[in-house]
């Protein structure tokens, strides 16, 4: 929906003028999810009310609710992603309830934000996106947003943030005396916490379900000047990742390349960059890029 109907100019205009849009992540409402009790109760109430009224209801739905909390219309996402379906639904709601037109109550803000962290933590920003082959090269999927045909998993890149504490970051660095040519293997448990996020956009974002089958990330110092060492990173990853939330045999397979700048004296990581090379998911190409980010 974000790539099709929710990026459509007419839908955006209707939502901003007459509605207060709210969207929820189902993963927040699992047993281990972060949703507070009052939100869980309200979500369940809207679902039951819609079901009792014999309207379409479920976990992937659009619900229209009056200011008083009465759920009066709904539509499955399989229909709501279609611009030609969602626009009439919203227009009918406006005609029926005649809400006062107004400005959006909240300004547009970034949905992916730098997390709040302790000082000296290593913050990594990860972007993943589907790729396609064009003239032998792998390039990002290009979509014209706001059209029904744009509704696919490759329309948008996905983002995530991974944070390592100051003490954890030290595990990325060598214990031996640093000099040009030194090689070592990065801590597998720590790098595994990063690599479980290496998959394209799918409906399943529960990384606890990912099963790393093979992983390796090695470093080799290629320069050491003015107290800063640069190490080349190379490795590979093979990981089972389910597209939905049940086993399907889909697998990530990729080589890994990047570099790590660090200060051996203070055990401080200055910069970390890591990308996939010839990555595939279920034999389809995708790409991931990771970069360390300074705190704002």
Six-digit token pair at 61?
């739905």
- In angstroms, the first-to-last Cα distance of the chain is 31
Mean pLDDT of 21-47: 93
Mean pLDDT of 253-266: 97
Give the residues across from 260 on adjacent strands: 231, 272
Percent of the chain with pLDDT over 70: 100
In terms of DSSP bridges, do strands 183-185 and 251-263 run parallel, antiparallel, or are they unpaired? unpaired
State pLDDT tens for residues 93-130. Answer: 999 999 988 888 778 788 889 999 988 899 999 999 99
pLDDT greater than 90 at residue 156? no
| Band (143; pLDDT cuts 50, 70, 90) | confident
Count of CB atoms situated within 10 Å of the CB of 129: 19
Residue spans per domain, the chain: 5-97, 122-292
What pLDDT does residue 273 have? 98
More confident residue, 198 or 102: 198
What pLDDT does residue 4 have? 96
Residue 129's nearest CA partner among 198, 228, 220 is: 198
Mean pLDDT of 180-207: 96
pLDDT greater than 80 at residue 59? yes
| Band (249; pLDDT cuts 50, 70, 90) | very high
Q: What are phi and psi of 251, to 5 degrees?
A: -135, 140
pLDDT greater than 80 at residue 296? no
What pLDDT does residue 263 have? 97
pTM: 0.88
What pLDDT does residue 3 have? 92
| Band (217; pLDDT cuts 50, 70, 90) | very high
């Amino acid at each position: 929906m974000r790539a099709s109907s929710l990026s459509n100019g007419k839908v955006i205009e209707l939502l901003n003028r007459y509605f207060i849009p709210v969207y929820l992540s189902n993963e927040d409402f699992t047993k281990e999810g972060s949703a507070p009790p009052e939100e869980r109760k309200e979500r369940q109430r809207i679902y039951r009310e819609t079901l009792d009224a014999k309207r379409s209801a479920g976990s992937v739905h659009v619900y229209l609710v009056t200011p008083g909390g009465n759920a009066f219309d709904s539509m499955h996402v399989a229909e709501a992603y279609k611009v030609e379906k969602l626009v009439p639904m919203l227009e009918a709601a406006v005609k029926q309830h005649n809400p006062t037109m107004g400005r959006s109550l909240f300004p547009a803000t970034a949905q992916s934000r730098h997390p709040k962290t302790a000082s000296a933590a290593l913050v990594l920003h990860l972007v993943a996106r589907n790729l396609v082959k064009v003239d032998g090269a792998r390039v990002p999927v290009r979509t014209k947003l706001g059209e029904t045909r744009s509704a696919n998993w490759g329309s948008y890149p996905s983002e995530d943030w991974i944070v390592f504490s100051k003490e954890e970051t030290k595990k990325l660095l060598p214990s031996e005396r640093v000099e040009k040519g030194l090689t070592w293997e990065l801590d597998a448990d720590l790098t595994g916490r990063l690599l479980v996020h290496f998959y394209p956009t799918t409906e399943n974002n529960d990384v606890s379900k990912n099963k790393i089958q093979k992983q390796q990330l090695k470093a080799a110092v290629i320069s050491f000047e003015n107290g800063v060492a640069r190490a080349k990173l190379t490795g590979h990853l093979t990981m089972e990742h389910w597209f939905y939330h049940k086993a399907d045999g889909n697998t990530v397979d990729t080589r890994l390349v990047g570099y790590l700048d660090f200060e051996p004296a203070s055990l401080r990581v200055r910069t970390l960059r890591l990308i996939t090379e010839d990555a595939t998911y279920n034999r389809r190409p995708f790409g991931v890029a990771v970069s360390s980010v300074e705190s704002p």
